[in-house]
Chains A and B, each alone.
Chain A
């Protein structure tokens, strides 16, 4: 009772809950320090956000999340207020194209609490899902992440005193962000055909749209040192199938200039447009 009164008098009751997934991260943690984590198969990278909402410290550590957390947990906690962090899982996920999935206003809530109602027989209880609908067709982009991976990540972070306020997939978020940007910035004149390539710390996804329809989607996570060859193997068939003159958009996390430069050298042959911004993946996670 006293806590309720205190929260009303301090206006905390009117601010969004730190764990509320319906509110953008920057709004949830206005004036508070938070940590953004990107968990890959072989390394973990992070970026902290200070009280003014600006990016502060950055880091990278080779190893499994459990090992890295054991070593960096104290440092990570110091970068937060209350231990809140946003985690991007960049491993053990699949992004696929689906059609005819349910669309509703509370879709995101349903996907978290009862995904079976949205996915029907496609639902697998061993997976966590996120969805992004094509605005003009019945196609949807479906992310399925290993449930065990999410749970392990949550447990590891809780074990070092961190509270995951959001667990998402950085690559999927970049695809969503880039698609929304393409459709919004070219409102009414969006290209009916394009190829969108997204890369996020060793994961790559490519989406092909032809005549206003999403035709093909390929993704791969956890690319190793030979990631460039694998990436090209994924992209090449889509580029080859695209009609001449199809716009190609490339967006990357903005942290690995070498990978970006090398891939863009290949993509410049098809006059690809680079939508990458510095720290783009962190901006998406830390603002939206």
Chain B
């Protein structure tokens, strides 16, 4: 009975539109599917963009934090370096301050008994403690004693710079700059 269609004799219309075939329903369905997919991807991308922006701001904040920490560390390092430089200078100075007594002993032992040491002057440079200005005046001596003095000082790891000797009769004056040599 469902196939029964009631008759109709109304005035026919000429502008009546025919319905589209059912298969064409895929067009709006596809449209809505694409629209939904687009909205989904746009929404996802917007969320990702927002997340990326937040991540970027967080990264910038972290970077600023690290830069501040680096600056602090750099200033601390600079301070430490300055301290270290000063400490090294002090250490070098302290290292340079060798005991002078072995030099006097070595000089005394280097000269024979008949030779008199009339004057022995060891003067340490205040700025360069490793350098010691030596002045030895010998009476009744020869230049051979000077060579002995120089070799005995060398054995104490002092190197002689700018040695000079002056002889006036039996008096010999020997000047030299002794510099401590590291091993």
Contacts and interface: CB of A to CB of B under 8 A. Distances in A.
Interface string A239-256: 000000000000000000
B99 interface: no
Given A111-B9, A130-B9, A151-B11, A20 B25 contact: no
Interface stretch (B14-22, B40-48, B126-134, B135-143): B14-22
A82 to B, nearest CB: 15
Interface in B1-38: 1, 4-13, 16-20, 22, 24-25, 27-28, 31-32
Q: How large is the interface on A (under 10, 10 to 19, 20 to 34, 35 or more residues)?
A: 35 or more
Most buried by A among B6, B10, B22: B6
Interface stretch (A176-184, A225-233, A262-270): A176-184
Most buried by A among B5, B10, B12, B27: B10
B11 A150 contact: yes
B7 A14 contact: no
A279 interface: no
Contact of B19 (A16, A108, A113, A180): A16
Contact of A108 (B1, B7, B17): B7
Contact of B8 (A14, A168, A184): A168
B6 A25 contact: yes
Q: Interface on chain B toward A: helix, strand, loop, or mixed SS?
A: loop
A20 B6 contact: no
Contacts of A46: none
B28 A11 contact: yes
Contacts of B16: 17, 19-20
B6 A285 contact: yes
A129 interface: yes
A28 to B, nearest CB: 10
A176 B4 contact: yes
Contacts of A190: none
Given A14-B22, A15-B19, A167 B8 contact: yes
A98 interface: no
A280 interface: no
A194 interface: no
Given A113-B12, A154-B11, A168 B20 contact: no
Contacts of B6: 24-25, 166, 168, 173, 176, 284-285, 288
A128 B9 contact: yes
Interface of A: 8-11, 13-17, 19-22, 24-25, 87, 108, 111-113, 128-132, 143, 145, 150-151, 154, 164-169, 172-173, 176-177, 180-181, 184, 284-285, 288
16 contacts: A8-B27, A9-B31, A10-B28, A13-B24, A16-B19, A17-B19, A20-B19, A21-B8, A24-B6, A87-B10, A111-B7, A151-B11, A167-B10, A168-B8, A180-B4, A285-B6
